[in-house]
């Protein structure tokens, strides 16, 4: 019980620090969203003083308060579920923008991460089992793909399959001409979203499968040298049983831990990939917020990412403490 209490206290403190940094970092950046919006309006003509006062009240109303008062006000709004009004998507609330972008990222990046994990661990176990043969050539091939920058790989895929062959669309999460009113619950829209998500998903899988494959292959080589594997072979067990029940099951434990942590980062999306494909996910939303000094939107996105990562790590700690008693005594 002490183990779980210590882990809970640790993550509670970590959450407080993360939220505090989330409050401070945007305020340390140059610029003010209210001043930017007023400047844009002034380019079109004279802006009434009443309009300027309203904009400052909505987007910069707390700038005259002390940093401490702003901090407590931020906590009060946060606990009430108010993440503020977005400047770049004015006057949309931040919660609505995040709620609209989050499903796109979870479905695309989540499925792509699961696919790359399954392929990487499965092929990695096979490569480790057949070490020293021609299948070892898969390791450098996938490692090279992992080292390629995301944006370059995405642009190559677009040039080949979208521009050259015309198989997949170039940008977007769905066909905006077929669905001009936005997303809807229908099989036609689901098919359009799936069609537009294939190329971005391939980009994520190709860019991440090499890490899972290399890690699993190395763990398999290490596991196959253990005494219980030698004993299983001496008993005359079938190679398939040794591979699945003894070697792969134990070698996959570190990969499963890494997969659980990577699930937390799914919410962050893939900023470069979503920007290249103009995909309507959290990554693109974050890029828009940073580009426009949208404090409220930045804070909301960072908060969601922080909560997801901390939750994934916390759940993984609890699972490890349950399946491995040594973890409860060593921490």
Q: Do residues 179 and 290 both lie within one domain?
A: yes
Q: What is the pLDDT of residue 6?
A: 77
* Strand partners of residue 85: 93
Enclosing domain of residue 315 = 94-322
Q: At what angle do helices 138-147 and 94-129 cross, to 10 degrees?
A: 160
Statement to judge: residues 114 and 73 lie in one domain: no
pLDDT tier, 266 (very low <50, low <70, confident <90, very high otherwise): low
pLDDT tens, position by position, 68-87:
777 887 788 788 877 777 77
Joined together, the tokens standing for residue 234 give: 């001496």
Residue 45 is classified by DSSP as S
Where is average pLDDT lowest: 24-38, 101-115, 250-264?
Answer: 24-38
- 125 is a domain residue: yes
* pLDDT tens digit sequence for 148-180: 777 778 888 888 888 888 888 877 777 777 777
Same-domain pairing of 75 and 109: no
For residues 294 and 90, the answer to whether their CB atoms sit within 8 Å is: no
The number of folded domains in the chain is 2
Q: Are residues 98 and 71 in the same domain?
A: no
Largest distance between two CA atoms of the chain? 88
Whether 85 is in a domain gets the answer no
Is residue 48, in this structure, part of any structural domain at all? Answer: yes
Tell me the average pLDDT across 294-317. Answer: 79
Alpha carbon separation from 110 to 22, 38, 282, 284 (Å, rounded): 25, 39, 13, 16
- Same domain membership, residue 265 and residue 232: yes
**Cross-strand bridge partners of residue 93:** 85
Examine residue 87 and state whether it is found in any structural domain, yes or no.
Answer: no
Whole-angstrom CA distances from 109 to 142, 146, 187, 238 are 19, 16, 21, 38
The answer on 111 and 62 residing in a single domain is: no
Please tell me whether residues 103 and 64 are part of one structural domain: no
Looking at residue 75, its pLDDT comes to: 82
């Amino acid at each position: 019980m002490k183990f779980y209490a210590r882990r809970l206290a640790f993550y509670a403190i970590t959450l407080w620090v993360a939220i505090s940094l989330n409050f401070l970092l945007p305020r340390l950046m140059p610029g003010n969203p209210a001043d930017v919006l007023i400047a844009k309006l002034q380019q079109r003509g004279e802006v009434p003083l009443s309009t300027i006062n309203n904009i400052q009240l909505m987007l910069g109303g707390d700038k005259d308060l002390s940093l401490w008062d702003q901090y407590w006000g931020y906590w009060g709004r946060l606990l009430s579920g108010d993440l503020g009004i977005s400047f770049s998507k004015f006057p949309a609330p931040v919660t609505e923008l995040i709620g609209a972008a989050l499903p796109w990222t979870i479905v695309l990046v989540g499925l792509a991460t699961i696919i790359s994990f399954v392929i990487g661990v499965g092929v990695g176990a096979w490569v480790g089992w057949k070490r020293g043969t021609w299948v070892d050539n898969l390791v450098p091939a996938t490692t090279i793909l992992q080292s390629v920058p995301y944006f370059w790989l995405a642009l190559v895929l677009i040039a080949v399959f979208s521009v050259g062959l015309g198989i997949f669309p170039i940008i977007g999460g769905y066909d905006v001409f077929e669905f001009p009113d936005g997303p809807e619950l229908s099989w036609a829209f689901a098919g359009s979203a799936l069609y537009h998500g294939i190329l971005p998903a391939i980009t994520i899988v190709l860019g991440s499968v090499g890490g899972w494959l290399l890690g699993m292959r190395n763990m398999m080589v290490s596991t196959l040298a253990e005494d219980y594997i030698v004993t299983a072979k001496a008993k005359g067990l079938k190679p398939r049983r040794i591979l699945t029940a003894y070697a792969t099951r134990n070698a996959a434990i570190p990969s499963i831990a890494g997969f659980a942590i990577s699930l937390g980062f799914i919410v962050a999306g893939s900023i470069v990939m979503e920007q290249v494909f103009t995909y309507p996910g959290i990554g693109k939303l974050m890029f828009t917020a940073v580009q426009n000094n949208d404090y409220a939107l930045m804070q909301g996105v960072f908060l969601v990412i922080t909560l997801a990562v901390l939750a994934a790590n916390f759940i993984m700690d609890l699972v490890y403490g349950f399946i491995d008693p040594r973890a409860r005594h060593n921490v």
